[in-house]
C-alpha cells in the first residue's frame, strides 16, 4: 500500500476513498498542519492532497500554503472550489508549488492517476537524493558540457576545441577573458586532460602577493636570504614539478618579477633567492589575465618578450553575455549544486525568474550567476525561486525581459509583441510588483492591522506606512 496524506477540515467523500483504496492507497487524514507534521514523521509521505472548500474563509491562501511549504519533500495535489482558482495568489501558488490540482467535484479516477504519477516522480527523486549518482560536479545528461565545464552554446563548443588542443600539447598557454568567466577552471581542464594529469596542479594569484615577496614565492629562497628568511623555502615552481603551474592574473606581475619569470621560461632553471646554484625543472606554465596585455605592452607595463613566451597558445573564455543560451542551463546546474552541498529542499525556478536571468547583463559573468543562484536558493521560502529572490543589481544595464502570463497579469502594466508575449520593462518593475503583493497579503492576513502586518514582514510600523503610501495602499484605522 502507498500512503496518501490528506490535509482537510473534512474527510474525502467515501466513494473517493474506496476507489483510492482499490488502487492500493492508504488514505491518512489530518485536520491541521500540526497533525500533518506528526503523521509525516511516522509515515514519511511521498504525496499529499490539500482539500479546500470554503470560499469565504479569509485564510484560504494560508491554509493552502502551510502544509505545502512546511512539508516540501511531499508532492502535493490540491482539490479546490472553482472560485478559488480564480484568485491571483492561489493561481500563482498552484503553478509554482503544486504538482497538480483539481476543482470540485473530484474525479476519483483522474485523482488516482495524478497521485500515481506524483508518487513515481517523488520515489525516483528520493532515491537519487540518497544515492551518490549525482554529486555536485557530475555530468548528468541535463547538464551538457566537456572537461568539467558546463555549456552547449556555439562559443563554448569553440572553447572545448581549444581546450582539447591545449591538452594535447605541452606548450605554454595564455588564457584571457573577463573576470568570472572560469579561467582557472579552463586551466584545470587542460591539466587534467593532459599527459601531466598525474602531476600536481599549483595555482598562484600574482595579484595577491606583494612584489617584494613574489620572487621568493615563485622560486623559493635560502635560509638567511633576507631578514625574515629563518628557514629554507621551496618555491611554487619547484612544487609543481611534473605538473602544471597556473599563474593567475599574470597581467599584475611586477616588471622585475616578469624578467625573472622570462629567464625561467627560456632555460627552465630555478634559482632560489639567496642562492647561486640553479636547478633544472620540468613544469608547464599556464597563465591567465583579464588585462589587455597588448595595451599593457604599449603602456610599458608588460614585457613583450614575456608575452610571446606565454602565448604560444591563446584561449579566450567567453563572457556570459555572449552565451545567452547557457544562462538557464548554468542556473539549473548551480541550483542542483546548492541543493546537494547545502542540503536545501527541492527547488526550481519560476518562469519569471528564468526570464529575469536570461535578460540580465551579468557583468560578473558565471561567477556572479553562481553567487546569485546560491543566495536565491538559501533565501527562498517557497518551492520556486522568483524574481524577488534574485539579488541582481538594478543599476546594471537593464533589460527588456519577457515574462510569462502569471507575472504579466500581476503587473497591470504590459505590452504585447507580435507573438502575443508579455513584456515587462525591467527587473525593478517586477520587484516593485512583488513588494506590493507582499504588503497586500500581509495586510489581508491580519485584517489590516498595521502592527501585526509589520511584525509579520519584519519591518517597523513607520516603514510599513511608508511602503503603503509608496504603493497607494489605503491606510486603515486599525493599528
pLDDT tens across 173-202, in order? 999 999 899 999 999 999 989 999 989 999
Task: Cell numbers for 468, please give them.
Answer: 503603503
Q: What is the DSSP string of 393-459?
A: -TTSS---EEE-HHHHHHHS--EE-TT--EEES-HHHHHHHHHHHHHHHHHHHTTT-HHHHHHHHTS
Same domain, yes or no: 273 and 421? no
CATH number at residue 269: 3.40.50.300
Instruction: State the cell numbers at 211.
Output: 612584489
pLDDT confidence of residue 413: 37
402 assigned to some structural domain: yes
Neighbours of 150 (CB within 10 A): 20
Q: What is the CATH number of the domain that holds 432?
A: 1.10.8.60
Domain for residue 136, yes or no? no
Closest by CA to 358, choosing from 327, 396, 403, is 327
β-pair type (244-248, 201-205): parallel
What are the residues whose beta carbons fall under 8 Å from the beta carbon of 423, sequence distance 6 or more? 400, 401, 402, 403, 414, 415, 416, 417
Pairwise CA distance, residues 448 & 450, whole Å: 6
Q: Do 5 and 40 meet the contact criterion of CB atoms below 8 Å apart?
A: yes
* Domain identity same for 155 and 276: yes
Structural domain containing residue 174: 148-318
Provide the pLDDT for residue 372: 92
Q: Are residues 237 and 101 in the same domain?
A: no
Say whether both 338 and 291 belong to one domain: no
Give me the phi and psi of 464, to 5 degrees please.
-65, -40
Q: How far apart (Å, rounded) are the C-alpha atoms in residues 133 and 125?
A: 12
Last residue of a domain, one of 284, 299, 318: 318
Q: Is 258 in the same domain as 347?
A: no
Q: How many domains does the chain have?
A: 3
Residue 26 and residue 18 in contact, taking contact as beta carbons nearer than 8 Å: no
Residue 140 covered by a domain: no
CA distances to 60, 355, 376 from 327, rounded to whole Å, are 37, 10, 15
Order of strands, sheet of 25-30, starting from the edge strand that comes earlier in the sequence: 25-30, 2-7, 47-52, 75-80, 100-103
Counting as low any pLDDT under 70, the low residues of the chain are: 54-61, 127-142, 343-344, 393-435, 437-438, 441, 445, 455-463, 474-479
211 and 122 in a common domain = no
Q: What is the pLDDT of residue 260?
A: 83
Asked whether residue 307 falls in the same domain as residue 338, the answer is no
Q: Same domain, yes or no, for 95 and 167?
A: no
Based on the fold, state whether residues 281 and 370 are members of the same structural domain.
Answer: no
Grid cell 639567496 in the structure block, residue: 274
Whole-number pLDDT of residue 409: 38
CB 257 within 8 Å of CB 211: yes
**Residues sharing a CB contact under 8 Å with residue 193, sequence separation 6 or more, in sequence order:** 147, 163, 164, 167
pLDDT at position 429: 60
Whether the CB-CB separation of 215 and 179 falls below 8 Å is answered with: no
Q: In whole angstroms, what is the distance from residue 479 CA to residue 475 CA?
A: 10
- How does pLDDT run across 220-250, given as a tens digit for each residue? 888 877 777 778 788 888 899 999 999 999 9
Which of 87, 102, 129 is where one domain is finished? 129
Can you read off the three cell numbers belonging to residue 55? 470560499
Separation CA 193–CA 178 (nearest Å): 24
Domain boundary among 303, 318, 333: 318
Residue 100 lies inside a defined structural domain of this protein: yes
**Structural domain includes residue 465:** no
Residue 137: per-residue pLDDT: 38
473 lies in a domain?
Answer: no
Residue 292 lies in a domain: yes
Q: Please tell me whether residues 279 and 208 are part of one structural domain.
A: yes
Q: Is residue 411 part of a domain?
A: yes
CATH number of the CATH domain containing 52: 3.40.50.2300
Query: 327 and 311, same structural domain?
Result: no
Mean of pLDDT over the chain:
80
Rounded-to-integer distance, Cα 83 and Cα 42, Å: 35
Grid cell for residue 397: 544595464
pTM for this prediction: 0.57
User: Do 291 and 167 share a structural domain?
Assistant: yes
pLDDT at 405: 41
Amino acid at each position: 500500500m502507498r500512503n496518501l496524506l490528506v490535509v482537510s477540515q473534512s474527510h474525502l467523500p467515501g466513494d473517493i476513498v474506496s476507489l483510492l483504496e482499490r488502487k492500493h492507497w492508504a488514505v491518512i487524514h489530518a485536520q491541521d498542519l500540526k497533525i500533518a507534521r506528526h503523521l509525516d514523521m511516522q509515515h514519511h509521505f511521498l504525496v499529499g492532497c490539500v482539500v479546500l472548500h470554503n470560499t469565504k474563509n479569509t485564510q484560504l491562501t494560508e491554509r493552502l500554503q502551510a502544509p505545502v511549504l512546511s512539508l516540501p519533500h511531499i508532492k502535493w495535489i490540491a482539490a479546490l472550489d472553482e472560485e478559488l482558482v480564480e484568485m491571483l495568489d492561489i493561481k500563482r501558488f498552484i503553478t509554482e508549488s503544486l504538482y497538480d490540482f483539481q476543482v470540485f467535484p473530484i474525479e476519483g479516477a483522474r485523482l488516482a492517476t495524478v497521485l500515481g504519477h506524483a508518487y513515481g516522480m517523488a520515489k525516483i527523486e528520493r532515491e537519487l537524493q540518497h544515492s551518490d549518482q549525482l554529486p555536485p560536479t557530475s555530468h548528468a545528461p541535463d547538464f551538457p558540457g566537456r572537461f568539467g565545464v558546463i555549456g552547449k552554446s556555439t562559443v563554448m563548443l569553440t572553447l572545448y576545441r581549444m581546450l582539447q588542443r591545449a591538452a594535447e600539447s605541452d606548450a605554454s598557454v595564455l588564457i584571457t577573458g573577463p573576470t568570472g568567466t572560469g579561467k582557472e577552471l579552463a586551466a584545470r581542464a587542460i591539466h587534467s586532460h593532459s599527459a601531466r594529469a598525474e602531476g600536481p596542479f599549483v595555482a598562484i594569484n600574482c595579484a595577491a602577493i606583494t612584489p617584494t615577496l613574489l620572487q621568493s614565492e615563485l622560486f623559493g629562497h635560502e635560509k638567511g636570504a633576507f631578514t625574515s628568511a629563518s628557514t629554507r623555502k621551496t618555491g611554487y615552481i619547484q612544487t609543481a614539478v611534473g605538473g602544471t603551474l597556473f599563474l593567475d592574473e599574470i597581467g599584475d606581475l611586477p616588471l622585475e618579477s616578469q624578467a625573472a619569470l622570462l629567464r625561467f621560461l627560456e632555460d627552465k632553471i630555478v634559482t632560489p633567492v639567496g642562492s647561486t646554484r640553479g636547478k633544472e625543472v620540468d613544469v608547464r606554465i599556464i597563465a591567465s589575465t583579464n588585462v589587455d596585455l597588448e595595451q599593457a605592452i604599449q603602456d610599458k607595463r608588460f614585457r613583450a618578450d614575456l608575452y610571446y613566451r606565454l602565448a604560444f597558445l591563446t584561449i579566450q573564455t567567453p563572457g556570459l553575455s555572449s552565451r545567452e543560451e547557457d544562462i538557464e542551463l548554468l542556473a539549473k546546474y548551480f541550483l542542483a549544486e546548492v541543493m546537494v552541498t547545502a542540503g536545501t529542499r527541492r527547488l526550481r525556478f519560476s518562469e519569471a525568474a528564468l526570464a529575469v536571468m536570461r535578460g540580465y547583463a551579468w557583468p560578473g559573468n558565471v561567477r556572479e550567476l553562481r553567487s546569485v543562484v546560491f543566495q536565491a536558493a538559501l533565501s527562498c521560502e517557497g518551492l520556486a525561486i522568483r524574481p524577488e529572490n534574485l539579488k541582481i543589481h538594478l543599476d546594471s544595464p537593464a533589460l527588456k525581459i519577457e515574462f510569462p502570463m502569471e507575472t504579466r497579469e500581476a503587473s497591470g502594466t504590459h505590452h504585447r509583441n507580435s507573438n502575443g508575449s508579455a513584456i515587462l520593462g525591467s527587473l525593478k518593475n517586477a520587484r516593485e510588483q512583488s513588494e506590493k503583493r507582499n504588503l497586500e497579503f500581509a495586510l489581508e492576513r491580519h485584517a489590516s492591522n498595521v502592527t501585526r502586518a509589520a511584525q509579520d514582514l519584519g519591518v517597523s510600523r513607520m516603514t510599513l506606512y511608508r511602503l503603503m503610501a509608496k504603493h497607494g495602499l489605503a491606510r486603515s484605522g486599525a493599528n
